Amino acid sequence: MRRRALLLLAAGLAGPARSAPAEAAPAVEAALPPGWGAVPPPVEPPGPAPVPVPAVHHLADGTPVWVVERHDLPLVRVEVSLGCGWLSCAGDPAAARVLGAVLGEGPRGEDPAAWRAALGELGAEARLGVGAMRAWADVETLAGTEGEAVALVARAFRDPALRRRDLVRARRRATDSHRHAEEHGAAVLSAALARAVYPPGHPLARVDRARDFRRVGRGDLRRAHRAILARGAPSILVVGDTTWETVRPALEEAWSGLPGTAGPPELPPPPPRGPRVILVDLPGLTVAALALDMPAPGAFTPELPAVELLAELWAGAFGSRLNLLLRERLGLAYGVDGRLRVWPGHGRWQVTTTVAPGAVGEALDAMHGELWALAKRPPEDAEVEAARRAMFLQGAAALGSLESLAFQLGVAEAYGRPATWARDQQRRYAEVSAEAVREAARRLTASDEVVWVVVGDRFDVEPALEAAGWTPDLVWSAAELFARPRRTASRPVSAR
Amino acid sequence: MKDGVRGWVPRLLLLVGLGPATPAAGGAEPAPDLDAAAAGAIDLEVRAARLANGLRVFVHEDHDAPLVALELRYAVGSADEPPEANGVAHLLEHLASSGSARAPSGAYDRWLGEAGAENNAWTDHDATAFTVTAPRGALDLALFLEADRMGWLDAGVDDRAVAVQRRVVARERAEAEATAHGMDFAAINAAVFPPGHPYHRPVDGAKADVARLDRAAVLDFHRRWYGPGNAVLVVAGDVDAEEALAAARRWFGPVPAGPAPDRAEVPPVERAAVPRAMITGAGEGVTLYAAWPTVPRGHPDEAPLDLLAGVLASGRDGRLDRELLGRRVDRVRAWTDNDRLGGLFVVEAHAPRLSPDRLARLLDRRLAELARRPPTEAEVRVGRRRWQGWALRAMEPLESQAAAVAECALAGRSPDCAAEELRRHLAVTPADLARVAARYLDPDRRALVAVIAPDRPPLRDAVELEIP
């Protein structure tokens, strides 16, 4: 499997300017039909994807409802979002997350198996949950059954059972999944980045610990649920084989009367803390995990599209600079994941990979060199154009399923953007100049807020780092990341 | 090692949406025309052609978005590898992007990237697929690149590229080994299929074999199996079918015909090779798999086995979900995986704190209930409807449409067999489920495979598996 690099907002393929076709060796040339492929076929440039603009309606109480009719398959998707999540306004984050795990257990006073079977009989799949910034109740069902499906899901979301046995199970699953988090490379890397980037008290500095979940009770669930219903501003998105007139009565019946007005809040950027190299010791880890974390613009900002294109061409998919180097030229990594994590208020750009512990120094050198090469070898026009086309492809691919289309539109609706946002975003990519992307690269390489994190068995990793001239500024133990915060949590070792 | 689970993941996704109602669950049957509407909706209109060199080409027009999805699927996978070269199919999949006669090293990814296209590839037991999703104006480029590496890969692959991709494949395995459940599917196959069976070996290859593979071995495998007569090409999307067929002829027509595939017959597996097996895993607690050998893809019992899996476990409301979850068991799944030479029916349970033997007893007790309490009409009705919803959703993206056509065509079936499959599933009855449960889920035929965290006790009398 060739692994696809990931970006939260941006993903795709890009690459430097096209190379001239190589001359095939004479023996091969003789085997090829005369002239066959001597010049690669031309490519007709794609344009922005034709993302539809939803029709905007409202329930009688003012709740906005965006509707996109699509009649190619007999399916309907209805997504309901409330602008209140475990990070933003639901009170105790652990309780809100456990609540999210039990919302799908059906409505109060109803047999959960019968409730699920009723959904099953419609061919419906429901997804109820609580995220960092919002809670949701989504259902996708066979056309003609959307009214019943909406009613079933709304009952469970608005008046959930919150049974003790469901709580016990969800609590135990959450506890168990975090009980040994300090032994798992991916969890440790995530915790280390939270600790490295955000100061104590920042919402994103939070590291989940098993004990936070262990103490959640039913009263906590009820409080979190009340907060979400009372505070989160509702919005509804309907896509698929239905019409506003068809679905409206069910929506009025099921979802009107939600009083919340809160939308997802702004999250402040972390204060500048200077560049750092952090080694996290995780004894016994057989691979080393590496991360590079850098500042990025916040969601919906005018600066973001240029950084998305930069992220794409530098650490996007197989043709990106970093993947070509680490995977295709050096064979150091199976792949590189680039991830832009953006919120209203600020964003971060994280690039992660895993390598053999003995190759950590070589991999860091390669990543470091490629990062600073952005200053010496700024993105070329052709690279920017390739990244732009990748964005167009993503926009077009999102039209391929109700779920992906709803995701693209639903983010804009839930964050209070106009209905034209997703369509216009494609135009924004079209309008970003290559110079704007180069300027973004200059800002990035001039930033002194780059954080490097290495998670691995110190016994294996440290010699490889030393051999390559890397000296950690801080050394943490994995267990320490999950301990109760203390005044002096880490040990400064030396300045790089 | 996603390759190895390639056949596993889609089935799993497919089955988690399935599940039974309780016998008491009522509810009126939805409007009867839903079945016909669903099957009709995924009846793909496909234009087909066979080139003189044997390549079969299929085109499906879909003008919803200005995109095209291309899938070139070869009828070759790890099952076709020489015994001493386990991993050559997977390594070749990697090397196919490293250069060919007209596309120098790195050009495949770069040129597609410049066009705004994305590409990927996978290998499993029986097939290797290369996929491209591109703006419609890049179809010619994608066809040219695929044809170039089908016909003239040897001109672009050098020893250095082989060495680099051997390292990448080794990283892929290392990641799988360090990931919870990354090696579970390989362990199940090693326990169910006997040594010497083509499915016994890991799809991503034995580490020692991969380390030995050189350019000659890889290109020999390419010459033998990557001929146009052993592949199907599918183009789906915003194209004119005639123009797409003409483009396919233009680029693939000159590719020389390869040797005819030559495979030995493999007898079906009647019972698991290792009744009790275990590996030490990177995850928490104990995960226990009860795995039975079943039927190859396309067998009439495939559909009832699929629905039986849904009746047993559907993520939340299957029988095992209701009976086991919350009693120190925190995950139960049931799934099927059917390939050319045989299939699997697997029940999976995860318990953070139980011993594997205790978990096995819990599971056995519940599975024994199937004989006394066969699936009801209400359970099967819900399973059918859920399957219907899933089948529609699964056919939404262009890439899925192309993959469905390739899968059908490579199996020698009608290219729109997805609709036929849905109809087969919608026709399944409770009696069918009772029959396949009795026929296949015999405790004496299965393998119990425990994946155990280092701090948990071993499974009694179990053979410790080593994935090479």
For residue B130, what are its two tokens? 């290369």
User: Is residue B379 within 8 Å of residue B307, measured between CB atoms?
Assistant: no
- Digit-coded pLDDT (tens) for A64-122: 999 999 998 899 999 999 999 998 887 889 999 999 999 999 999 998 888 988 998 89
CB contact under 8 Å between A392 and B116, yes or no, is yes
With cut-offs at 50, 70 and 90, classify the pLDDT of residue A27. Answer: low
Q: Please state which CATH number belongs to domain A276-492.
A: 3.30.830.10
Interface of B with A in 353-412 (CB under 8 A): 378, 381-383, 385-386, 388-390, 392-393, 395-399
CB contacts of B398 in chain A (<8 Å) are 397, 400
pLDDT of residue A182: 75
CB-based contact, B35 to chain A, within 8 Å: no
- Digit-coded pLDDT (tens) for A3-20: 433 323 222 222 233 334
pLDDT of residue B9: 29
CB contacts of B97 in chain A (<8 Å) are 2, 318, 328
Distance from CA of B31 to the nearest CA of A (A): 8
CB-based contact, B246 to chain A, within 8 Å: no
Count CB neighbours of A61 within 10 A: 12
b/e B435-467 (16+ beta carbons within 10 angstroms → b)? ebbeebbeeebbbbbbbbbeebeebeebbebeb
CB contacts of A111 in chain B (<8 Å) are 22, 24
Q: Does the structure show a pLDDT above 80 at B8?
A: no
CB contacts of A125 in chain B (<8 Å) are 17, 386, 389-390, 393
Length of chain B: 468
Enter the ipTM: 0.85
Q: What's the CATH number of domain A55-255, 2.170.120.20, 3.40.50.1980, 3.30.830.10, 2.40.110.10?
A: 3.30.830.10
- Mean pLDDT over A405-417 rounds to 92
Distance from CA of B445 to the nearest CA of A (A): 32
pLDDT of residue B19: 27
CB contact under 8 Å between B101 and A329, yes or no, is no
With cut-offs at 50, 70 and 90, classify the pLDDT of residue A449. Answer: confident
Interface of B with A in 91-110 (CB under 8 A): 93-94, 97-98, 101-107, 109-110
CB-based contact, B25 to chain A, within 8 Å: yes
CB contacts of B98 in chain A (<8 Å) are 328
Stretch among A255-264, A291-300, B242-251, B300-309 having the lowest mean pLDDT: A255-264
Q: How far out from the chain centre does Cα A301 lie?
A: 17
A168: nearest CA partner in chain B: B326
- Mean pLDDT over B129-142 rounds to 96
In terms of phi and psi (left: phi > 0; alpha: psi -120 to 50; beta: otherwise), the region of A495 is: beta
CB contacts of B102 in chain A (<8 Å) are 21-22, 24, 32, 36-38, 40
Q: How far apart, in whole angstroms, are the C-alpha atoms of residue B82 and residue B31? A: 53
Q: How far apart, in whole angstroms, are the C-alpha atoms of residue B453 and residue A495? A: 39
CB-based contact, B37 to chain A, within 8 Å: yes
Q: How far apart, in whole angstroms, are the C-alpha atoms of residue B106 and residue B87? A: 23
- Mean pLDDT over A310-320 rounds to 91
For residue A368, what are its two tokens? 């470091």
Q: How far out from the chain centre does Cα A435 lie?
A: 27
CB contacts of A36 in chain B (<8 Å) are 102, 254
Q: Please state which CATH number belongs to domain B45-252.
A: 3.30.830.10
Tell me which H or E stretch contains A234.
strand A234-240
CB contact under 8 Å between A356 and B171, yes or no, is yes
Give the ranges where B179-272 is alpha helix by DSSP (H). Answer: 184-192, 207-212, 215-225, 241-252
- Distances in Å between the Cα of B317 and the Cα atoms of A104, A266, B116, B359 are 11, 39, 43, 19
CB contacts of A114 in chain B (<8 Å) are 21-22, 24-26
Interface of B with A in 309-348 (CB under 8 A): 316-317, 322, 325-326, 330
pLDDT of residue B282: 78
- Mean pLDDT over A327-353 rounds to 93
Q: Does the structure show a pLDDT above 60 at B206?
A: yes
Domain ranges in chain B are 8-34+266-464, 45-252
Sign for the CA dihedral angle at B33, B36, B38, B41 comes to negative
pLDDT of residue A113: 84
User: Is residue B20 within 8 Å of residue B138, measured between CB atoms?
Assistant: no
CB-based contact, B457 to chain A, within 8 Å: no
- Mean pLDDT over A236-261 rounds to 96
**Residue among A72, A121, A173, A188 with most chain B CBs within 10 A, to mutate:** A121
CB-based contact, B285 to chain A, within 8 Å: yes
Q: Please state which CATH number belongs to domain B8-34+266-464.
A: 3.30.830.10
- Digit-coded pLDDT (tens) for A175-212: 877 777 777 888 899 999 999 999 988 989 988 888 88
B162: nearest CA partner in chain A: A331
Distance from CA of A74 to the nearest CA of B (A): 7
Q: Report which of residues A345 and A22 the model is more confident about.
A: A345
Q: Does the structure show a pLDDT above 60 at A232?
A: yes
With cut-offs at 50, 70 and 90, classify the pLDDT of residue B60. Answer: very high
pLDDT of residue B39: 67
B103: nearest CA partner in chain A: A21
**What strands lie across the sheet with B118-123, from one edge to the other?**
B47-50, B56-61, B231-237, B67-74, B128-135, B118-123
CB contact under 8 Å between A50 and B37, yes or no, is no
Q: Report which of residues B7 and B227 the model is more confident about.
A: B227
3-class SS of residue A77 = strand
Q: Report which of residues A130 and B284 the model is more confident about.
A: A130
Distance from CA of B95 to the nearest CA of A (A): 10
Q: Does the structure show a pLDDT above 50 at A297?
A: yes
- Digit-coded pLDDT (tens) for A465-475: 999 999 999 99
**What strands lie across the sheet with A346-355, from one edge to the other?**
A337-343, A346-355, A288-296, A451-456, A276-281, A474-477, A491-492
Pinpoint the residues of chain A covered by CATH 3.30.830.10.
Answer: 55-255, 276-492
- How many A/B residue pairs have CB atoms within 8 Å? 327
- Digit-coded pLDDT (tens) for B394-449: 888 999 999 999 999 999 899 989 999 999 999 999 999 999 999 999 999 999 99
Among B31, B285, B385, beta carbon nearest to A120: B385
CB contacts of B110 in chain A (<8 Å) are 15-16, 18-19, 319, 324
CB contact under 8 Å between B113 and A386, yes or no, is yes
CB contact under 8 Å between A176 and B330, yes or no, is yes
With cut-offs at 50, 70 and 90, classify the pLDDT of residue B317. Answer: confident
CB contact under 8 Å between B135 and A324, yes or no, is no
